[in-house]
Each structure stands twice: as C-alpha cells, then as structure tokens.
Structure 1
C-alpha cells in the first residue's frame, strides 16, 4: 500500500501574519490567484490579497534550498541524421531496469525524435520536458513519460566533490565541461544511472509543460516540491535568493527531496535556462494553510 501523502497542520495562533512577509504587498497576487484557481478571469491585486488573507493562514516557516528549472528549446529531427544522431526514447511497453550506460550501449525501445548530442539529451532529461524545433519549422513538445527505477544522482555535485568545477558552478559550465572531452563527458553522465523517457504533449505554444498535477506550469509561479512534505496544490510563500513571491506546488522532480527543497519553473528557452542554472539559494518557505 502506498505511503500517505503529507498534510499540513493548521498554524498555531500568534505566529506570522501576512504583513510580516517582505514583498507581500508588492507581489502580483492577482496572477498568483489565477494560476492557483486555473482561471483567466481578470481581478485586482487588492481583491486577490484580501481573498488570500481571509481564506488562508501562514504555516510553519521551513528553511529551504531554492533552485530553478526550465523547458529547453533545442533543434531536433524526427529521423536519425548525421546532424542529429542521439535518440530521445518514448515510454517502453514494460518497466525498464537498465542503467543509463546500459541503455546507451544498445536499447530497442521506441524513439520519438533525435537531437545533436548526448549532453542535450541529458539536460533535457534533467529538466523533464522540452520543445524541439524541427527542420520543417514545426515544434514538437515533449514531456516526462516515465523513468527507470535507478535513483537520480547529480553529476554537478560529483564534479564539485572532485574539485573539477567551482562550488557555484552553473548548468552552462557543467555542459562546457562535458563537451570539452566527449568520452570523459559520457562517462560522467553515466554516473547518473537514472534515465527519463518522454511523451509527446499536444499543447499550445503559450502554455508551459505539464507538471505532476496534470496542469501546465507557469513561469515564476509554479514550483516542484517533495510531496511527502508539501502536498501538491499547496500555496507557498518563497523568500530566498531575492525571490519573494507566492507560488503554487504543481510539480515534482527526482532531485527535489526533503521538506525544504524547492525548484522554481523559470520558463522556456535559452534565457530561462540561464536564469534557472544560476538560481541556487537558501532562504525560507512558508506554506499557506486554509483556515
């Protein structure tokens, strides 16, 4: 039987009030409410603030580690070519017990598309979704489909532990290290035995990828959390690394484990990727609990 998901206890009296939150009165709470309620109806910031303050109370603050994720946008092909030789696999018919190295050594599962190199595939798998710009000018949206049972291991942490990169290394610097020596890079990527399979997502260009809740995630408002500690659908006030805003727990991630681990969705494309790769901060999160 599956373990029960986390629930949030009602806050004790005398704890934090909304006026104690830095940035609460400046945040675009109307946008946060639209994302939370999945509504496009216009509303004022003042009304949204009043609704939140009336219907919710602040829970217990938790020390957090905040990072960012994004939806890569890269070139790809529906067919293998010299330019695009690396396959992106679809969900196999049966659960896959192979490691990353074993799959890369030979795997006859379904292939959805092809990309330029192993580094692009690896980071697409780390992000869990992406947009492929195909040669005919169309775009193929791919989302998380399944993964192997092997645990996720951060190669960035491995590189830091070995002194190969600085402690504050960015994702772009890790990519450069992997590509500088492709054989060495593939050996390092194999240190993460987890392997992600994708599904095609038929989504409008204006929406983000589908998160674990089955809803499109929104840049700057959707966060990935560990649902064993924060229930999906929870409103969370973030105060870390200069980010002070109301977010909604709509997603999960293999590396997002523990009560204070949070990943903020930064958007789509290269610029969002730079911002996501540079976001690595500590601070606090405060869940909102319905009164």
Structure 2
C-alpha cells in the first residue's frame, strides 16, 4: 500500500453473513484453483499482495481442493466452509470502499497475417528473463522486473517502439494477428483478451511478461499535452483520439 492508500481492517464474519452464499454455486472455482496451483508449482509463484498472503500460504487450500470430489453446489460450499474463513475488508476512516472489475475484451484476429490482420500478439520470448537482486545488472533500476539475456550478459530489453518496428518478428512468437494496433495496445494494458477467429473459434490470451520499461500512461500524456480534458479522459476518449491520430 502507498501513503495515498487509506488503511483497512479485516473483520471476521460468518458464511451466513455473506449475502447470497446459500444460493451460490462455487463449483467453477475448483478449475481456477487447480490452474493457480499449477502456476505456483510449475511456473512462477505469485507476488505477495497488500494483505500479506504469499503463494505458499495458498498452497494448502489449493492442494486440498485438488483432492476433493465435488459433485454439487452444496459440496462446493461445504468445502469452503470447512477450509476457509470469510473476512470483511473495511476502511479504517469509515468511508465506503471502491471495487474495480476485470473484464476480457474480445478481439477479432486471424491465425495468419494478411493485408487486414497486420498487428501481432507475441508470446514470451526465450531471451526475456526475470530479474531479482541476484542477477540484476549494475545500473539497471530496481523497477525493472525483466531483462534480456545475451551472450555478453543481461541488459534492458528493447522497448515498445523497437518491438513495434519488428524486433520480435521472424522468431515464431506470433500467437495471432489483429486488425487494430489500438486493440493490441489496450489488450496489453488490460492483461487478457478473448481472440475470435474468422470461423468462430475463440481463444484466450493472458499476461505472461513485459519488456520491463516503466509504464507510460497514455491518458496522462494526452492530458499533459492538452489533447483531452482531464474531466473527459476515459478508455473511449483515448480510443477516439488514437483513431483520429493514427
């Protein structure tokens, strides 16, 4: 949490205090928890969040869920009531909290490039590596979580402009091609998307890594340049501006 973030407290409550819990069907969570377990074990543990929970803290629950035979909504609720305890998160200053939502934009794509589908989504390249205090090059800021492994050592990865101009092209990293460079940009910002192919097939992509350079908020830049009023800034107005200024 930053100094600008209001403090919060955790208040233990019962499952009976959860509105709609008795009618809920949390069965679909088990597939997601297994995906989380594989991520933690086989790929990369999640970073500790502001509540202080680590990936290791989650593993007992994820392992227990893996061994359960869930055949109904009641079974799923019983599992969570046996293994979990609900808490209400409330602000210490007494003001209402603010909750944001996550969504997956749906983007029209093609499996092969042509004159219409020209802008690629890339998978993570092999020379992009995670950085920590053990391998971070001298002079590369702590904010860089990723770097490029070369025969001469580790360096900063090429930035968005270099990638847009073809740095990753020809390496077989393309997942699909989109019609709009703006769509690709907003999927990068959002972190996930559903890809709809011409014949109706739908795929899904999600965040794997980034080049590591500091994020430049395009909305902030447009406000500073006087292109969009601060009171009018939104995804829609940014998209409109980009469409008018390709």
1:25-57 Cα offsets, whole Å, 9 max, x none, are: 345673357527588532359x66x938x9525
1:142–1:56: structure 2 CA closer, same or farther, 3 Å change rule? closer
- Equivalent residue for 1:18, pick from 13, 26, 36: 13
For the residue of structure 2 that corresponds to 1:66, the secondary structure is: coil
* Distance apart, 1:178 and its partner CA: 1.3
Structure 1 gaps, min length 5: 1-10, 183-291
Give the aligned partner of residue 41 of structure 2: none
**Residues 30 and 43 of structure 1 are in contact (CA less than 8 Å); yes or no, is this contact kept in structure 2?**
yes
Structure 1: how far apart are the matches of 2:98 and 2:161? 30
* Structure (1 or 2) with the greater helix fraction: 2
1:133 CA displacement:
2.0
Residue of structure 2 aligned with 1:61, choices 90, 103, 106:
90
Check the 8 A contact 1:34/1:41 in 2, yes or no. no
Aligned-pair CA distance for 1:65: 4.7
Distance in 1 between residues matched to 2:214 and 2:13, nearest whole Å: 39
Residue equivalent to 1:70: 103
Whole-Å separation in 2 of the counterparts to 1:155 and 1:125: 13
Structure 2 runs not aligned, ≥5 long: 1-8, 31-64, 129-147, 149-156
Distance 1:141 1:55 in 2: 30
User: Are the counterparts in 2 of residues 87 and 113 from structure 1 also a CA contact under 8 Å?
Assistant: yes
Which residue of structure 2 lines up, in the alignment, with residue 31 of structure 1? 25
CA separation in 1, counterparts of 2:99 and 2:214?
Answer: 21
* Higher-RCO chain (CA-CA 8 Å, sequence separation at least 6): 1
Give the aligned length.
Answer: 167
Structure 2 equivalent of residue 127 of structure 1: 190
Deviations 1:244-267 (A, max 9, x none): xxxxxxxxxxxxxxxxxxxxxxxx
TM (normalized to structure 2)?
Answer: 0.53
Structure number having the greater strand percentage: 1
Determine whether 1:143 maps to 2:206: yes
TM-score by length of 1: 0.46
Q: Deviation of residue 100 (structure 1)? A: 0.7
Alpha-carbon RMSD: 3.9
Structure (1 or 2) with the larger CA radius of gyration: 2
Alignment match of 2:238 (pick from 150, 167, 174): 174
Assess, with a 3 A threshold, how the Cα gap between structure 1 residues 154 and 69 changes in structure 2: closer, same or farther. Answer: farther
